[in-house]
Amino acid sequence: MKKFGFTADNLQEGKRLDVVLVSKYTQFSRADWSEQVKKGQITINENAAKSSEKVKLGAKISGSYPESLASGLIKPILVPEVIFEDQSVIVINKSAGLVVHPSGKQIQPSVAGAFADDIEDSDLLRPGIVHRLDKDTSGVMILARNIETKEFLQAQFKARAVKKIYTALVVGHLQDADARIELPLERSKKNPEKMTVSSSGKIAITEYQTVTQYNNYTLVQVQLLTGRTHQIRAHFAHIGNPVASDRLYSQQDLPKGLARQFLHASSLTIETSPGNAETFTAPLAKDLKKFLGTL
């Protein structure tokens, strides 16, 4: 069973235990939690609890999640390839079409669901998740196998100490073969699914180098110096060279033979433990490689 634990805050003070639990872990119903309390699976300050018990400020509430579908973590039929694993991390080659974790109460196969049984993490929807790739982006991802490692990896991403290299095919020929794009991004007010360049947005820095030019496309190696949502896609669309087959950001006709955006996380360099930096790589996905062969 997956375990959880938290300390009651002032917003939870004075409320019934079952009310506190259902408001904190909304994936489960009040009935789920009441049943779990009856089974003796929930404690307050290490003592057996009752659903009707009023929670005090600072109380230590812990126990096991109910054994119901509610977590939303479903294992995909095809589990992503494991590139590397040890007691601290799991590094995978994420396949395109797979979300990293379910959103809200939406039940769907995910990376989180694929490896939940191998990870000790009280985060019910995002166990082990420290960074994300878009659903239709393939490539290297790292997961933490425990809370200590999760916090260690997250701190590196926050400090921009992780080196992330992507391979992308963009439409047309770039004005500069190698360049740095430094344009702030924020969520579009017209279409909240998209990110857009805006002076009121958060800083976003992308560096790229041209690898190969084709008649109507350019293959580039991209390094992210920040990690904003859709950063590569939004930046290249803004300069007039959207990622090939990007249905959200491109106004171009979608090319035949490419069913998703041409974007692949090629390598990731990160410390898996203090002082131990490692680089993990994933070869270009077969569908992308096949498309390049037609150009």
Catalytic residue among 134, 136, 176, 287: 134
Examine the residue annotation and report whether 134 is marked as an active-site residue of this protein: yes
4, 46 Cβ separation under 8 angstroms: no
Catalytic center residues = 134
